[in-house]
Amino acid sequence: MSSRHSLFAAICLTTLALAGCQSRGGLGDITGSISPARTQPGSPAEWQAEADKWSQRYDANQKDRNAAFYYARALRALGQHAQALAILQGAVLTHSNDREMLGAYGRSLADNGRLREADEVLGRAHSPERPDWRILSAQGTVADQLGEHPRAQQLYETALKLAPGEPTILSNLGLSLALTKNLPEAERVLREAATSNKSDARVRQNLVLVLGLQGRFGEAEALARQDQSPAEAAQTVAYLKRSVSQQNSWDLLKTGGGSKPAASRQAAPAPQGAPQG
């Protein structure tokens, strides 16, 4: 795996997952493995075992709420987004008042690029009386993908009122600020996220990116070395230097796949094993 791919996962739109990026071996909200306790599988092999277990129960009874929910969660973790969406589309018809199921459906729509639908569904997955910061953060990542950055930032700020200091929200907010080229504030927010004891390598990856966009390559390389070998960190910063020197350097934040790395969205930990992204 090249250094740019080891440092920059595709933008997950979390909470969605958008939990995250599926390459993490788990779900997050944009996608993260930031979770208070390990209540769900981690490795691809573990997720496959989870999928096999729940698929048998789902095949026996497709109206089984937990079977549909957890089977779809495992499929999303394995990157099988179309299949997960098909299962959740049926499940929300049967369990129309299940907000957790609705949230999973919204995340899955986002996984499949159906952003406007995801935005609408996630908006119905919680209420003002029972707000859910994970859903708000997920909505923010969808809004960012739609180019609606002020709305996204408002959603993250609202989520932070419910979960002050939550690094997954802060990380997504930092990237949103970077997308609007407010780099000093993006750096401040990402540094705050990185100080949390719940933070992980993806927060630092995003901070490396923002430092690189400001041309502070020495700081970026020193930070990258916390998660990469010296050689990998040097390659990462060399890639950043080349990208920042080009007119399309902002594609570092906006694109995933191809030859350009994308910033890594943070997926929020899901409550009691629910899909995180």
pLDDT in tens, 132-173: 999 999 999 999 999 999 999 999 999 999 999 999 999 999
Q: Are 217 and 240 in contact (CB under 8 A)?
A: yes
pLDDT in tens, 192-209: 999 999 988 889 999 999
In this prediction the pTM is 0.78
Q: Are 78 and 50 in contact (CB under 8 A)?
A: no
Alpha helices in the chain (DSSP H): 3-7, 44-60, 65-77, 81-94, 99-111, 115-124, 133-145, 149-162, 167-179, 183-194, 201-213, 217-224, 230-244, 251-254
The least confident of 75-84, 158-167, 199-208, 214-223 is 199-208
Asked whether residue 32 carries a pLDDT value surpassing 60, the answer given is no
CATH for 12: 1.25.40.10
Which residue range forms the structural domain that includes residue 83?
A: 3-273
Q: How many domains does the chain have?
A: 1
The pLDDT confidence band at residue 126, using thresholds 50, 70 and 90, is confident
- Residue 188 φ then ψ, to 5°: -60, -45
